Amino acid sequence: MSRALLGMLALAFVNGTFAQFPFTRVMDVRVGQQRPAISSIVQDSDGMIWAGSDRGLLRLDGDRVDVVLNLGVARVTALAPVDTGVIVALSTGAVLYCARNRCDTILLDTVLQRSPVRAMAVDGHGRIYVGTYGAGVLVASIRGVSGPSMVEGLPDDHVNDLCLLPNGSVVVATDQGLAVCTEGKVQAVFSEEQGAPDNLVLSVTATLDGGVWAGTDRGGAFLWRLGHARTTDHIGAAACQGPVEGIMELDGMIWIAGSMNGTLLFDQGERNHAYFPSAAALPDARPALDLMADRDGAIWWCDGSDRLYRSDPAVLIIPDHEGVDLKQITALCIDRGKVWFATADGLYSHPTAFRGDARLMKVPLQVDPRTPIVSLDASGDGTIWAATFGSGLFAVHPDGSIDHLDDVHGAIDPNVLSVRAGGGMVWTATLSGMFSVGNGHVEHYEAPGAGFMYMVLPLPDGSVLGATDGNGVVRLDGQRTVPVSTTGPRTYYSLARDSGGTVWAIGPSSGLCRVGDSTMACTGSELPMFNGDVFALATVAHRVLVFSSAGCDAYDPSTGRWTDLTSRSGLEDLQAELNAVCQSPEGALWLACNKGLVRMHALDHWYAPKLSTVITDVLVGSTHVPIRAEWRTTHDRNGISFRFTAPYYADPGAVRFEFRLSGLNDRTVRTREREVSYPALAPGRYTFQVRAFLGEDATGAEWTSMRIQVDPPWWLTWWAITLAVSLFILLTIWAVRTRDQRLRFRQRMEQEQVRFQLEALRSQVDPHFLFNSFNTLMELIESEPDKAVRQVEDLSMFFRNILQVRDKTFIPLADELRLVRTYFGLEQRRFGEAITLEVSVPEVDQRMSVVPLTLQLLVENAIKHNVATIEAPVRISISSTAGFLVVANSLRPRRSPARSTGFGLDSIRKRYAALSPRPVEVERTETNFVVRIPLVPTGT
Amino acid sequence: MRRGHLITWLSLLTVLIQSPDLCAQERVLLRLDRSEVTFLSEAPLEHITASNTNCTGLVDPAARTFAVQVPISGFEGFNSPMQREHFNENYMESSDWPAATFAGRIIEGVDLTQPGTYSVRAKGTLKIHGIEQERVVPCTVVVAPEGVRVTAAFDVAVADHGIRIPRIVQQKIAAVIKVKVDVLFKNDKGK
């Protein structure tokens, strides 16, 4: 009982509605683990979708969800797009401008808490119209410089929606009708008094030609133009199925938000031509809250849940119609504004416009369910030809009469696989080759081999091609068919001719083959679509579309590029009957598949989508940097992350990116990620470039770039380096100079000292000695001339010796002794017996060396400083002991000391200290004065 | 009990005063005198109905604003006392959100001081279970010498107000509850 009731309900549902809807993709939006309740959506000029929710302001690129503004308890009440950003109204009374990665407050007013913002619009002058529920319309500036002003003269302060007209006026939808305002003043009001169907206007949108579509609570939707007294167009409340919460006009289609299943779509040209989303397709959809048209001509809506819906009117899916399951279609064709299709239950026709008043027509053609119709085509006279696999060919004439041709009735193989009309004839492909039907008789053309033929294609030039199993593509030649080429793949399923006259063929794992006069040129056989089943081939203008179990792919022969349309057209997991595709004269493709009957208007931007790459965020460390074409940072803030994206909602998974950072290296990196980090950039200039593309081929994609300069630390700037280097050079020069000077000074000092000592020594030797010697000589010349002669001889010898030894460091002791003896001889002539010299140095020690003039100086000192008398002569002895030369003299110092510089002994000491490891020892007792001079081995 | 009334009146007055349409001039307020708010849950396995006569409310005929408050615990009826307890404790959580309110304004520009029968729409904020929803409710208003009688019927989707219904009782409680309102407002001046 209950099952019967349910069945009746289902039937009533099917009969009451038309289950057809634009292909709608549902996006689940998640913020972490949370499900935001999205109440408004807009698209900015970058193409990014912004969504206002109870979790804050979200931005979507199809793949990722960014929380641009985290709001806590506040909600987003309205959104309006401006350039690359949005104006956001919050339930806290704040109005903000958010773009890329930053938000600025424009307006903050507590009035907006009590009277929440319902809608906003921004005009070309940067004026923001803020429509509030309870406080009228406020006009603020996007720069927020001046306080808001009010729009005066509104019929009601309760604003539900706003829109801008092309001339800059603002249309305000209030609880008491529409108002048009210019320059802050209301110019016109349109309410029930003026002929509006309802005062309570909930939504409003402007058309390109200056009209206004308004959605009302219980009056449906109406079109009104400024200056007109009445509505220009009207969609009834019953058709709208309730209050119109949102409305949008796009390419002559009116989209209505608020029905029980999301949105309704009205074709403005044809009344009652409404598309309803099927409850089966969108089971969880709730009444839509906000509508928006994106740049690709698709409509987005949200329903207060965490889901966003994107409907593409270019793809219409009709899963069932008037109780007929259109997912089971086996063949179809289009003729004179009608689509003819066959299911296992029979043959149907329906107007190509699936509008409310159009009805399905069933052809009274009895077909054995075991031999369903596999191919349909219309000949020029309006006859529909239905081919069955097993029951032959049926011709349904425009007058309703039906002809049947098979081996009994018309000498034709009943196992027909394809029928095509062309050149005034009808051609069939059968299990035993090709047949033509025309002018009342049937011709048979054998195919090579077994003769299995999948498809036949008559061409405008009169030739006929056939796709065979095992013998490739064959061409009709007289009474026979001959293979076009004997090489290449042997089995083909489908043939199609493009607008340029080129014929294409596909078969299992054949790739896409161009049929030439005698060649088959195949391409793409390695692509995934040829791995599985291939179903059909179609041409749109010069492009070729292949339908396979992998979906739908388009080939452009002029560029050789394949474009995957599967995700765009919603044809994932496609299953279809062989060649169940046809094209309407307007260029729409109709495909019968497991989704139902699909109508596709593949638009040009489908084949070559233009992706614009946007850098959405730049992070330095953890700070967001304003997005500019050029910016700089410092050396210690050089960890830089870029976030970029390319909004593409039709098939977000196909987007790839290429980026490079010239300045670091010229390596171009390919990635699916939408983020890249450079943890430590060395100081320098860099250019970050990124571009997005689909598939594998990046050629032609445009780069988006950003220049960065990382400033070096101050100690690495040119002036600091110059300063440091010059300082170092100066210091070095100074140090070298100082050291040099000191060394030279010391050297000079030493030289000076030595010279001084020598000079002193010499001068010491010279004057007194000479004076005394000459005095002695004077006495001797008078008394003893012989002695005087000897005295002069000794003197000269003495000086010669001094001259000889003067420059030497050491001289042998023997030489020194000889010099001393000569000197002593000179002195003895003066002092006589008052001085004595005793030398007892062994021969061995005489070979040792001493500093020249040492002994002479000591002997001279002994004579000079002591009182010398005959009674107490000065006895000088020179001996050697244990490597020392001992010079001793008796000590009787003069009472008045002789002129002494104290230089002699001291200089000997110093010279020996410098030249010998052993010091000169001086010993002075009461009676003796002993000096020990170290003997230095000769030759050192 | 008196104090409870006072608070209710204060809150209603606040709602009214907050409505920006109110002008400061002499105001004639109509007070809710008799009320009956009924809800009906039509689920496959069970029909539940309960009604409430303890509502309070105000109407300002000049500004066409109104505010009505329905104490949740005041609903009587149900199929069993246990059901009423579940209603209050599990679904409506009336200890946290003791009252449902509907405050707003009447869209149509009718003069509620003139006797007659009017079909109007009340647009306002419906707050149930702490969650506000903007609603437009069609009402029939009969202005008669003894007062202003308002009748209305509308639907409330429980999901819209964050009321979770466990799967096990989904066959017994409807997802959309039908609500019927029949109230009489009287001139407040006599008091």
Distance from CA of B42 to the nearest CA of A (A): 17
> Do the Cβ atoms of A199 and B108 come within 8 Å?
yes
Percent of chain A predicted with pLDDT > 90? 20
| Interface check A616 vs B, CB under 8 A | no
Superfamily of domain B2-187: Lipid/polyisoprenoid-binding, YceI-like (2.40.128.110)
- What was the pLDDT predicted at A260? 61
Distance from CA of B181 to the nearest CA of A (A): 21
Structure-block tokens of residue A397: 């004439």
Query: What's the rounded Cα separation, in Å, for the pair A656 and A701?
Result: 11
> Do the Cβ atoms of B20 and A114 come within 8 Å?
yes
Give the residue, A753 or A349, on which the prediction is more confident.
A349
What does the mean pLDDT of chain A come to? 84
- What was the pLDDT predicted at A2? 35
What is the per-residue burial (b if ≥16 Cβ within 10 Å, else e) of A451-474? bbbbbbbbbeeeebbbbbbebbbb
Query: What's the rounded Cα separation, in Å, for the pair A434 and A313?
Result: 40
Query: What's the rounded Cα separation, in Å, for the pair A289 and A42?
Result: 12
Residue B23 pLDDT level (bands cut at 50, 70, 90) = very low
CB A542 within 8 A of CB A557: yes
* Cα A935 to Cα A141, A859, A928, distances in angstroms: 111, 17, 21
Nearest to B107 among A115, A135, A175 (CB): A175
Half-sphere exposure of A278 (CA within 13 A, CB side): 19
Nearest Cα to Cα of residue A820 among A863, A777, A781? A863
> Do the Cβ atoms of A175 and B20 come within 8 Å?
no
Q: Name chain A contacts of B19, Cβ cutoff 8 Å.
A: 134
Q: Name chain A contacts of B121, Cβ cutoff 8 Å.
A: 200, 217-218
Q: Name chain B contacts of A116, Cβ cutoff 8 Å.
A: none
| Structural domains of chain A ordered from first start | 20-318 (2.130.10.10), 614-716 (2.60.40.10), 720-934 (3.30.565.10)
Residue A10 pLDDT level (bands cut at 50, 70, 90) = very low
Mean pLDDT, to the nearest integer, of A532-555?
89
> Do the Cβ atoms of A200 and B18 come within 8 Å?
no
Mean pLDDT, to the nearest integer, of A248-276?
70
Q: Name chain B contacts of A175, Cβ cutoff 8 Å.
A: 105, 107, 123
What is the per-residue burial (b if ≥16 Cβ within 10 Å, else e) of A227-246? eeeebeebbebebbbbbbbb
Which position has the token pair 């969609």?
A235
Q: Name chain A contacts of B108, Cβ cutoff 8 Å.
A: 199
B21 to chain A: nearest residue by CA?
A134
Per-residue pLDDT tens digits for A416-443: 999 999 878 899 998 888 888 887 788 8
Structure-block tokens of residue A504: 């294409």
What is the per-residue burial (b if ≥16 Cβ within 10 Å, else e) of B151-176? ebebebebebbebebeeeeeebbbee
What is the per-residue burial (b if ≥16 Cβ within 10 Å, else e) of B51-60? bbeebbbbbb
Mean pLDDT, to the nearest integer, of A21-35?
85
Mean pLDDT, to the nearest integer, of A605-632?
85
Cβ atoms within 10 Å, residue A288: 27
| Interface check A235 vs B, CB under 8 A | no
Report how far Cα A458 is from the mean position of its chain's Cα atoms.
52
- What was the pLDDT predicted at A585? 83
* Cα A106 to Cα A119, A127, A143, distances in angstroms: 15, 11, 7
* Cα A397 to Cα A423, A437, A724, distances in angstroms: 18, 15, 101
CB A349 within 8 A of CB A339: yes
Query: What's the rounded Cα separation, in Å, for the pair A649 and A647?
Result: 6
Mean pLDDT, to the nearest integer, of A635-663?
88
- What was the pLDDT predicted at A3? 35
> Do the Cβ atoms of A200 and B121 come within 8 Å?
yes
- What was the pLDDT predicted at B20? 44
pLDDT score of A900 more than 60: no
Residue A727 pLDDT level (bands cut at 50, 70, 90) = very high
- What was the pLDDT predicted at A276? 66
Q: Name chain A contacts of B65, Cβ cutoff 8 Å.
A: none
pLDDT score of A269 more than 60: no
> Do the Cβ atoms of A157 and B20 come within 8 Å?
yes
Range with the lowest mean pLDDT among A208-212, A257-261, A705-709? A257-261
Residue A742 pLDDT level (bands cut at 50, 70, 90) = very high
Cβ atoms within 10 Å, residue A218: 16
Distance from CA of A256 to the nearest CA of B (A): 18
3-state secondary structure of A484: coil
> Do the Cβ atoms of B136 and A243 come within 8 Å?
yes
Which position has the token pair 């009035």?
A111
Per-residue pLDDT tens digits for A314-342: 888 888 877 788 888 999 999 888 899 99
Give the residue, A342 or A758, on which the prediction is more confident.
A342
Interhelix angle A718-783/A785-805, rounded to 10 degrees, is 170
- What was the pLDDT predicted at B153? 94
Q: Name chain B contacts of A157, Cβ cutoff 8 Å.
A: 20-21
What stretches of A302-454 show up as alpha helix (H) in DSSP? Answer: none
Query: In the sheet where A177-182 sits, what is the strand order?
Result: A159-164, A170-174, A177-182, A185-190
3-state secondary structure of A775: helix
Residue A726 pLDDT level (bands cut at 50, 70, 90) = very high
CA angle A930, A934, A937 (to 5 degrees): 150
pLDDT score of A366 more than 80: yes
- What was the pLDDT predicted at A87? 93
Per-residue pLDDT tens digits for A567-604: 888 888 888 888 889 988 888 899 999 988 898 887 77
- Interface size between A and B, measured as CB pairs under 8 A: 28
Judged on CB neighbours under 10 Å (0-12, 13-18, 19+), B149 is: middle
3-state secondary structure of A911: helix
Residue A897 pLDDT level (bands cut at 50, 70, 90) = low
Q: Name chain A contacts of B107, Cβ cutoff 8 Å.
A: 175-176, 199-200, 217
Residue B180 pLDDT level (bands cut at 50, 70, 90) = very high
Nearest to B20 among A135, A217, A243 (CB): A135
